[in-house]
Amino acid sequence: MSLKNINVSKAGPNCGAFIEGVDLSKDLSVNVVAELRQALGEHGVLFFREQNMDPSHHIALAEKFGGVNINRFFAHVEGWPQIAEVRKEPDQKANIGGGWHTDHSYDQIPALGSILVARETPTIGGDTIFSSQFAAYEALSDGLKEMLDGLKAVHSSRHVFGKGARYKERGEDLGGRLGNEDAAQQDAIHPVVISHPISGKKALYVNPGFTLRFDGWTDEESKPLLETLYAHAARQEFTYRFQWSKGSVAFWDNRATWHMALNDYQGERRLMHRITVEGEPVTT
């Protein structure tokens, strides 16, 4: 990948890249934005260190890549409804995003990606793991690729954010951080394998967080194959574990990656600000 305006170095063999030489608090040029978009489509997630961004900078950055999706279910930063809080207080046990998932796959038009800014981090722990769904697809057997071709899957927000959400059934202390359960009425059907809108590369597009079943299949029929795909897509060689510090930024592409926030910092506070960028329909 030949880039003139940014410095890109791979984070892991299959997932992620570090970007240097870019101040995200500045008004980025058209050329820099184009190269960041290209790098995102190639690597799936971009990492930045030591950024000094206030909420206005955060919003301005997101708007360079698309419209801002106002999150329906997360608490918002006071005075900034465009920015969702991903917060865990020292006395809280459950964290947000603690299982493998892809943001907004339940929407008819899924999000392009999310930009997460670290505001407060624990002294140790609280990392986020990302997994490349480009690499996961490429490593499938030819037979399984042929089987998945043409399949679609059903995604939903109801079981995650609705009245019967799993976190409520488990008694997890997410109250006050998640809400608006009546708005959890999103259902969508997407191809199981998509062509990435930026890079054109094939990617798996199912995830344990929001995918329910294959379209036209029962839950019972779907479960064995979905679990096989989930175990495959989470393989260590497809992943990169990002260690946060104050001022760190991760910009991930929801069409190309999964992510999972580790909950290994009990008794400490972790506060992140997230903006989700609107995307486009996903196609084969």
**pLDDT for residue 6 is more than 70:** yes
Using pLDDT thresholds of 50, 70 and 90, give the confidence band for residue 176.
Answer: confident
Percent of the chain with pLDDT strictly greater than 90: 94
Catalytic: which of 58, 87, 104, 259? 259
What is the maximum span of the chain, computed from C-alpha positions, in angstroms? 52
**pLDDT for residue 37 is more than 90:** yes
What pLDDT digit, counting tens, does each position of 7-32 carry? 999 999 999 999 999 999 999 999 99
What are the backbone dihedrals phi and psi of residue 218, each rounded to the nearest 5 degrees, phi first?
A: -80, 165
DSSP assignment string, 85-97: EEEE-TT----TT
Total count of domains within the chain: 1
Active site residue 187: no
**Would you say residue 261 lies in a domain?**
yes
Distance CA 196, CA 206 (A): 14
Using CA of residue 35, residue 40, residue 43, residue 48, what is the dihedral sign? Answer: positive
What pLDDT digit, counting tens, does each position of 179-196 carry? 999 999 999 999 999 999
**Would you say residue 283 lies in a domain?**
no
Instruction: Return the pLDDT at 164.
Output: 85
Better pLDDT: 105 or 171: 105
**Would you say residue 18 lies in a domain?**
yes
Catalytic: which of 43, 72, 103, 255? 103
Domain containing residue 250: 7-277
**Would you say residue 126 lies in a domain?**
yes
Active site residue 274: yes
* Residue 29, domain CATH: 3.60.130.10
Structure tokens at 12: 């892991």
Catalytic: which of 43, 58, 87, 274? 274
**Would you say residue 198 lies in a domain?**
yes
**Would you say residue 1 lies in a domain?**
no
Distance CA 213, CA 49 (A): 38
Active site residue 91: no
Structure tokens at 117: 């800014």
Catalytic: which of 87, 101, 155, 190? 101
Active site residue 72: no
Residue 194 near residue 283, CB atoms below 8 Å: yes
**Would you say residue 57 lies in a domain?**
yes
- Mean per-residue pLDDT for 84-92? 97
Average confidence score pLDDT of the chain: 96
pTM: 0.96
**Would you say residue 284 lies in a domain?**
no
